[in-house]
Structure 1
Amino acid sequence: MFARAFRVRASTAIKGSDRRKLRTDVAAAFPNLSAEQLTEFIPNKEELNVIKIYCHKGEAVTVYVNNRNPILFEIEKALYPTVYALWVYPDLLPAFSTWPPVLRKLAGGADLMLPGVVVPPSGFPQVERGTLCAVTLLGNRAPVAVAVATMSTAEMLAAGMKGKGFAVLHTYMDHLWEYGDKSCPPTLAPSVADSADKERAEDGEEPAISFSTDTLQHVDTGDLSLKEQDGCATLMGKEELDEDKAAETADEASTEVQQEAEDSRTPQEQMDALFNQCFFHALKCKVKKSDLPLLTSTFLRSHMFSCCPAGKQLDIKKSSYKKFSKFLQCMQHQKILQVKELNKGVESIVEVDWKHPDIKAFDVPEGFSSASAAQDGKSEDREQVYHAPEIIPLYGVSAKMIPLFQESGHRKGSAFSSSEVRNIIVNYVKANELVDETNKNFVKVNAILCDCLLDKSEQDEISKLKWDDLLSRCLERMQPLHQVTFFGQEPVVRKGNIEPIDITVAQRSSNKKVTIIKNLELYGLDPQCIANILQQKVQASATITPVPGTKDRVQVQIQGNQIHHLAKMLLEEYHLPRKYIQGLEKAPKLGRKK
């Protein structure tokens, strides 16, 4: 599931009430956790974040992160532990062992086949089909994968250890593991049975079940790594891995020190540091002498925002400065630049001291030049990346309409377009000779049409229907559906009519207005991406908040009435049909030109 990169939709700190509910859900999902272990697993005071992500196949997954490491992920209200959690609680799930070389297949997205499972002398744990299990490597009890059993223990043995045994959800070295601190599995002593089996293998005896006909060499967990080469996972030996580790030791040590220092700072101090970093980065790499004088708003929007690291967002309200003008005043006091009001109410940067020690001492983050260039071109290429989905209204056969459609071989739930429904009705009328002989614009109502299309008060009065009336009544009594086809993906059929993108303007304290946008996800739009774009375009604070009354839906909230900017973006840049956007009429009226 996480073999390929996923897309983060939203990230928020979990509330106290949600924390208590999560602890209750974890206790129900993993009853063998003691009360003390449960409190350690879901701590009371430590920061716990909830992250909404989209996997590469479109699955919506909720991830819970503690101390920078994902500890749980939730799919369709079912909780699953990550390898980081299982390294702390290795006996949380029933475990099955496999040979170390199999790990590279699992990390590449493969499921665990039964020939790759090592049968211990003591036998397998007794599990049923659908049981959540851990996968370990021979010689180490630390789990390296989380999987669901596709058959019971008895069925595995009855099948002669052939076929697919486990559907793998998450592994060590996949992208969910990479989202954490990328630590390696600990070395945990195996059980007595596993140790005996390992000794038999080392003595040259044939194990209970072989992985393949090739000779397998024992590889320790710490000796195993994956590198991406031409889209394929390649197994590395211990020597290559040691060379890589030696080359990266200094970088990792400095990174860890920096991350620890960042964690000890308050959110306001972190935002101040981020503004300083983006400020010096923009002056050193983005602004040229020929660009001066430069509007301060343009400097922030076009230069500093593009220097912001991935996953972070500049928000002056969350800093100690509160206003960008005060931040620039502070920089001016340090004699780094000079700001003047060239036009009334409009400030510009007129001079920069590029020889200032702070600018000269600033080191551009490694690899940021390409990232900045990619981010600069992101807005220009956005319309090429995003393709508006194709939305087709469909009609499903309801229980009341079954008699009318079963003659043509269709069942309840079958979905049709309006033209297909028309053809089925026309064929039914002709096959049963229901066209009125005196006036072919009318259709005679037989017993089936009477039961399906007429109300009780009409059944004794109406004996004929016009063609148009017949078809409209048929569509009204069918179940509304819609088919959505995103670019490069298979069509998806959903119940009901598609909800439009809903834009509303709400009044807040001090007579301030905010624009709220809902249902962006239904059209393949990332709410976080839309919020970032709007924030840069209109220079107003934008946030992502949960939709009241829902669990997994979010909305974008931006200061002011920004419907004009939204309309231009959705209609002209993203080419969404106007009929799928609700609330454009609430745009502020433009003043009359004199």
Structure 2
Amino acid sequence: MFTKAFRVKSNTVIKGSDRRKLKADVSAAFPSLSADDLKELVPNKEELNVVKIYAHKGDAVTLYVLHRNPLFFQLEKHLYPTVYTLWQYPDLLPAFTTWPPVLQKLTGGADLMLPGVVISSTGLPDVNKGNSCAVNVVSNRAPVAVGTAAMSSREMRTSGMKGKGVNVLHTYMDQLWAFGDKSAPPVISVTDPSVQAEADLDARESGEEETEEMARESEGQNDVSGMTAVESSCQNFQDLSIQDGRKEEKTEEVHGEQEDTRSLQEQMDSLLFQCFLHALKSKVKKSELPLLTGTFLRKHMAACCPKGKNLDIKKSSYKKLSKFLQSMQKEHSLVRVKELSKGVDSIVEVDWRNPELCSFCIPEDWEPPEDCAEDRVSCEVVYKPPEITLLYAVTARLEPLFQDAKKKKGTVLQASEVRSIITDYVKRNELVHEINKSYVNISPVLCDCLLEKSEYQEVGTLKWDDLFSRTLSRMQSCHQLQFPGQVPVVRKGQVDPIDISVASRGSNKKVTTIKNLEGFGIEPAVVADTLQHVVQASSVLHDVPGAKDRQLVQIQGNQVHHIGKLLLEQYQIPRKYIQGLDKAPKAGKKK
């Protein structure tokens, strides 16, 4: 089940009620566990994660992960322990014993056949058809596989130990094991004398075969069958992993020698194909389809490029991404590409069961890029909106009014400071009306600063509110942007709101543009990329004419609703600083 890579749907911390339910389920499924064992497997306070995955064949599986290691997996409401759990509690499940070479077959996806079962002096373990069981090898009691019994113990004996014995679900060195810390199994001594005798005999035979193989190698007889014989005679699975590692190293060396003899064009074709398979296997999720081809190349294939190498389609035989994807569709049947909108291609379907894709293995020396391209959302610096403060600058006309407060032309003040200075000026010059205190008498300075020429002879008093509003309206508007952790920035003029507009193009197609994102410290490229993923529509950046270092985002269709949701919820921009939200398409109407 886990021989090939699986897709993670969600990974969340378990809730208190679910933790109690899990503990009850584990206790019911494995009654041999004591209360202390249950507390160790399902601790009350330590973080326990619930990971929902889809296996490569589409099966929905739930994993329970503690300290990075999956402890149990649930399939069709049945709970099974992983090898990590069985290494702590080797007697948790009835176990069938087999030979070390059989482990290679099990890790490759095969089930355990009865002719490969070693019967101990106590006989076969007592199981019924469908019961959970484990598999170990003669030299070590640590389980290396988990599955279900294909038939009962009685049926196994009746059949003469022929046919399938265990339907294997999970093995050591499969993808579920690789989801954990990839530790090697412990060595647990075999207690049954008959099984120990079989292990000793197997070790002696393995030693003899290995000696013969070494002799053949010294004579120059380097055949592959000899290598297989040595590997199949390993005493335990640690030896197997060592041999496999050596074999992979030799394969990589040979492959490297072949690359040296190829042309640059052939090398780039090979690199493209490798990154293509790597991206499909580990990056692309079914929920992302349809996926823009440009996004697939920029975000997924580029992230899978080995360190020290660069993808350059122009240096390949394909020259264009569209031709490369057509080849992947026609010659390999890996994907299906469709033009969902005019001039814009998208990957609409992936053949997850394609043999080339299933057999592809991610290179062990591959390292994720430092910029975390494969997980853009989690690696980006979290955006925090600026704190915007409205300010007012003293103008030449109002300078006499602020002279006593020693505020010269160009001095920037907040509204509360302006109010305080005007109030102090009125009281100091005794301008409050003698009868009605809500009015202020107009002095020559106030007349020159606040009144129009037509009002000179007509207006003798002003209300307090009118006095303040006239003062602020005759000052130059400014604003201050305070980004977290940065020095405040003061700019002249009103705050330019983010402007969202919708325009029609040929054939009555609509495009949405967004301007003035830089004023709020938002990168237009990030917004364009995010919207492209959300709405699955093409987006481009254009320079704003006459504005240096300013860009506008243009995206196909009327996307005002999605843009508004992005700016209001993710970027937390106040609604009053977003212009054009009313242009969203009405419910029930075609965009």
Query: TM-score with structure 1 length normalisation?
Result: 0.46
